[in-house]
Amino acid sequence: MKLKNKVALITGGANGIGKVTASLFLKEGAKVVITDVNEEAGVKAATELSEISEDILFFQANVSESEQVKKMIESTLQRFGKIDILINNAGITIDGLLVKMEDSSWEKVLDVNLTGVYKCTKSVLPIMLEQGSGVILNASSVVGLYGNVGQTNYAATKAGVIGLTKSWAKELGPKGIRVNAVAPGFIVTDMTAKVPEKILKMMEEKTPLRKLGKPEDIANAYLFLASEEANYVNGTILSVDGGLVV
């Protein structure tokens, strides 16, 4: 088992990539806490995941709210006593062309996708510094690397996550904490379900592998980066996109 006795905290863990990652980590011996703003989905996910292992906990939290993040960290420590891995997976989209974008759409996406990453990492950091070890994994996107029409806010947050990742890798590496990011391409999730079919088909045709990705593809990348197999990987942005950006 690659993550035996490790404690992993996964934000946005009730569905999609987060839930699949939690399942994989449990199978690899980790104790897992999933958080999500959607309580009903989170409880349902935790119940299903408990069939793999009883070492699963759900905590409802909005990652952009400091007090909720603080309580999330406290609950994790109360249950498992430490935090070895933080996956900043929570994210939202509110797409629209710049000329039509409301300020509220900009602010909501930044609050979750960028400020949430900052707040969760800052809250976990004292624990990892005291341990002298830890792994922080951030969710970026192919859109953060190359932009996308109609996703000004989302692209800005995912590019920002890359900046955070590289800065933290330099700052925290000497403390024994590795920081990396995964940049998925187009993955079949609830989020991409909102994308028109013709756009998805176009993305599939643009991808050299001629297919869209699955949540398992991203979960496997997270597993590698969280494991000791990646103990000399720090500050990297791992593209998992079927060659879309080649």
- Distance CA(128)–CA(42), nearest Å, equals 26
Tokens at 72, concatenated: 């999330």
Query: Could you say which DSSP state residue 81 is in?
Result: S
How far apart CA 29 and CA 31 sit, in angstroms, is: 7
Q: Which two tokens stand for residue 45?
A: 């996910």
How buried is residue 46: exposed, middle or buried, by Cβ count under 10 Å (0-12/13-18/19+)? Answer: buried
Q: Is 154 a catalytic residue?
A: yes
Q: Cite the DSSP H helix spans in the chain.
A: 16-27, 39-49, 66-80, 103-110, 116-131, 142-146, 152-172, 197-206, 215-226
Contact 155, 93 (CB under 8 A): no
- Closest by CA position to 237, among listed 197, 182, 193, 192: 182
Pairing mode of beta strands 56-60, 177-184? unpaired
Strands 85-88 and 134-139 turn out to be parallel
Give the H or E element holding residue 91.
none
Q: What angle do CA 106, 107, 108 make, to 5 degrees?
A: 95
> Catalytic residue positions?
154
